[in-house]
Chain A
């Protein structure tokens, strides 16, 4: 895990200056200040999230250091697709028919359950990998360690 707050802070600072200029020049236009403020706020909140998640690295200069933490990533996610289809169905239902809204909500609830199940499998897979015996060359077990981007 690395930092990443620096570009956001720099970008947000320059954006803040630019937005302040435009807002002051357009005095009396609350919508301009609101939108500019929103963009700057989003930028700084994201930077803050990075800093809070990894306090030291986030504002450290220089390249990222490698980490030894193993990660499990999914190859596919049915839950994510179901969630999107449910959300779209809900929105489409606003114009087309209320039954789609209920269908969409139901689908999204199911999708959350599927995603939780996928996450549980992910943890199990990681645990199994950690506990598995060293089998060089097979790509299984801790012996398969290698330099990795992230």
Chain B
């Protein structure tokens, strides 16, 4: 067997403590850093959401002023998308992909580290707008022109928002680029493309979308900043506004899938491990991922149906085509469960809930992929309900499936299963209380982004239910934080492979050592090499038992 020497340390002394953690080029440390910081942003965005829900829990509330409300929904959306869900997806890829493909390190550790810091400082730049005299960014998370031009949204807060987006997105692109490079060039011997684990495939298509579409947003933000400060007139007038929207949504729709695919991978891995079965229809799943990601870069115009700026039929067609790969994923999920020796662990339950909750988001997506129906629901709470079902009810449940699945690998300690299941129940109740009434409110014509609304029959009650639901979600998050705290304080050792895992990350110790794999890797003959080993051992044992004495 051809062998390779171990990579060497270039440092004379190993850095330790906080400085060591924050300057480490180890992909696991960087992935953890991104995850921890984005969780911090998640909590901040969650608090903003609670303020928003408190304000509109009743008609004509006066908890916050109109401007503060506008800042709150702008920064809530921006924080969640630029600083939590997207970077968390990339963090999972940075941590897990090298382990899953048998690499000892991520390609371009320095670049990944730079990406993390640029993203983090971008986030802080964006949030520093709260301290600015005129308030933070307040033109919505997509900051359409002309509203976001200096004439209509003056003040340094919006400038800081724009610069923060440039930095945060640039950092995300750098991290994604190194993941792409790692998958392309650092796979272990034997790790063919069609032997890569399901999660790695979802990460690959996500990072391809990041690299292909996110730079367009950076360019759009630079042009917007020039419009605001240098007196250019790039996004002025109808054509300028439509051009901005095209550029924004060229990023804005793929990012929805960047916020979806890796969590789909989390759910898929946790379901396969919980069912103790290989992921059903692996090749069809890979094909569907490729189709899904490519199509998702061609559907951005459905966010602009009512502008009349693009040909709606084109984008309605591509948007509706998304149903095909989505259907394959659900089929694969069902196929994996059928005949499996299912263990109802928290990770599997979160994974299943991801699929079920996302289904509501997906089905409402068919509705608004049709221009005729979209016209009636545009800018209403129906849209808010739809994307929160995809991003919160979908991605966040997938995220927690991943957390319960890989927490033992990352920390070496098991999370408490009972607390996990309690969190799941609480979050399901909270999520559906918060987001389902939005469909009804949207159909009844309640528009979004209003801090006060008229005393329309039923609206106050539905909004109150939503606000209580938001509080219940917050309770679910608190249960999770308590679970992490108690699990790390009173550790139940996980061992290398507590789930009888199928992929290479379960081959190494928990947590994995520097350079990941001190022992030689097992032969890689499929996307589930550890499952192969178990099946071979079982087969050998069976043959021995059947052999004549």
Contact = CB atoms under 8 A, between A and B. Distances in A.
Contacts of B118: 84, 87-88
Nearest to A43: B212
B540 interface: no
Contacts of A43: 208, 211-212
Contacts of A65: 2, 189
A29 B8 CA distance: 52
Nearest to B115: A84
Contact of B190 (A19, A31, A63): A63
B517 A149 contact: yes
Given A21-B314, A121-B12, A149 B195 contact: no
Contacts of B109: 73-74, 77
B22 interface: yes
B385 interface: no
B290 interface: yes
Interface in B275-319: 290-291, 293-295, 297-298, 301, 310-311, 313-315, 318
A22 to B, nearest CB: 5
B77 interface: no
Contacts of A2: 184-187
Contact of B110 (A14, A115, A148): A115
Contacts of A79: 110
B208 A11 contact: yes
Interface string A7-31: 1101100110011011001100101
Interface residues of A, number: 78
Contacts of B208: 8, 11, 43
Interface string B114-131: 111110011001000000
A74 B185 contact: no
B117 A84 contact: yes
Contacts of B517: 148-149
Contacts of A85: 117, 121
Contact of A125 (B9, B215, B297): B9
A135 interface: no
B163 interface: yes
Nearest to A72: B8
A87 B167 CA distance: 9
A51 B399 CA distance: 35
A133 interface: no
A83 B313 CA distance: 46
B121 A11 contact: no
A12 B117 CA distance: 30
B20 interface: yes
Interface stretch (B23-31, B78-86, B258-266, B469-477): B23-31
A136 interface: no
B4 A66 contact: yes
B10 A75 contact: yes
Interface of A: 1-8, 10-11, 14-15, 18-19, 21-22, 25-26, 29, 31-32, 35-36, 38-40, 42-43, 46, 50, 54, 62-81, 83-85, 87-88, 91-92, 94-96, 115, 118, 121-122, 124-126, 129, 139, 142, 144-150
Given A8-B208, A87-B118, A149-B517, 7 more contacts: A18-B295, A22-B298, A25-B313, A35-B247, A42-B212, A147-B1, A147-B3
19 contacts: A1-B185, A10-B290, A22-B315, A29-B246, A35-B246, A38-B215, A39-B212, A62-B192, A64-B189, A64-B191, A72-B7, A74-B110, A75-B10, A76-B11, A81-B113, A94-B229, A96-B160, A129-B5, A139-B6
